[in-house]
Amino acid sequence: MILDVQDLLVRFPGVTAVDGVSLSVAENECFALVGESGCGKTTLARTVLGLQRPDGGTVAIAGTPLAGLRGRALRRLRAQVQIVFQNPYAALNPRMTAGRLVDEPLRLAHPDAGRDDRRRRAEELFDAVGLTGTHRSRYPHELSGGQCQRVAIARALAVGPRLLVLDEPTSALDVSVQAQILNLLDRLRRTRGLSYLLISHDLAVVRHLADRVGVMRAGRLVEQGPSAQLLDAPQHPYTKALLDAMPGRGRAALLADTIEAS
């Protein structure tokens, strides 16, 4: 298991954001979390990233529990899990160029690498996410949303993670760009053996990427199962209601076509 969450509990004053959630993500698997806003998906994701301390339960990354780790050891384990945010503009420091944004994590992951070595690695990453060298000198505000998201993905990949948390990775993008990014994520998973923890409101996206789906409500995981089974034949009444309310039902076919075409 690349990610193993057991009985996770996160409390904020007045609310229990995550209430006894257990889930796991296997090597090369995509696990999707769905649920309405405020159900605790994002808090769960932040806890997995080590940005939020749990009040109970455990999070283990590749078999190593996050709890008790501090300083250097925590930072090293963190590199195993990276995040791709919803709004690509907010996810990139507006005062750094795309080149520097990718170089920074490369320096971190390869402290002994020389400039030429890092440059080669950066080129490889830019290539892998479908950007060219001309984008390196651009600032985020000089790039399109899709290009920013590619930079954000390259930046996340630079430290060599095994799990990517995808927090609504396409919902801030145009539909045509959404398909491109989904394709990219698909390809990266295959070629790099990545695992994904996907957070999404969009059924079409979930259907396209996820192997398994978990449904969250008020901090609890009410149902989980293989995505085809859960999406087509939900058991829990809340899952049924949620799936009816989620966008992307009719769009799934359309998006699938776009993905085929691109």
Partner 1 sequence: MSRPPGMTGVVEAAAPTRARQVVAALTRDRLGLLGLVLIALLVLTALFGPWLAPFPEQGAGLADVARHDLPPGGAHWLGTDPLGRDVLSRIILGARPALVVPILVVALAVLIGVPLGLAAGYRGGRFDEIVMRIADMFLAFPPLLLAMVIVALLGPSLLHAALALAVSWWPWYARLVRGLTAALRDRPFVEGARALGLRPFTVLSRHVLPNAAPPVIVQASVDIGTVILAVGSLAFLGLGPQPPTPDWGLMVAEGRTYVMTEWWLSAFPGLAIFLAVLGFNLLGDALRDVLDPRSVTR
> What is the binding site for partner 1 (CB under 8 A)?
46, 49-51, 74-76, 78-79, 81-83, 85-87, 89-96, 104-105, 108, 139-141, 152, 155-156, 159
Output the smallest distance, CB 51 to partner 1, in A: 6
Output the smallest distance, CB 128 to partner 1, in A: 18
Q: 3-state SS of 226-238?
A: EHHHHHHCCCCHH
CA 138 to each of CA 99, 100, 157: distance values in angstroms, whole numbers, following the listed order: 8, 10, 19
**In the numeric block, which tokens belong to residue 14?**
């007045």
**Directed axis angle between helix 115-128 and helix 145-157, to 10°?**
130
Which CB, 34 or 91, lies closer to partner 1? 91
Output the smallest distance, CB 251 to partner 1, in A: 26
Q: How far apart are CA 127 and CA 130, in angstroms?
A: 5
Which CB, 115 or 141, lies closer to partner 1? 141
- What SS3 state is found at 201? coil
Which CB, 106 or 210, lies closer to partner 1? 106
**In the numeric block, which tokens belong to residue 192?**
């790099």
Q: How far apart are CA 230 and CA 211, in angstroms?
A: 10
Which CB, 92 or 204, lies closer to partner 1? 92
Which CB, 138 or 192, lies closer to partner 1? 138
Rounded to 5 degrees, φ, ψ at 86 are: -65, -55
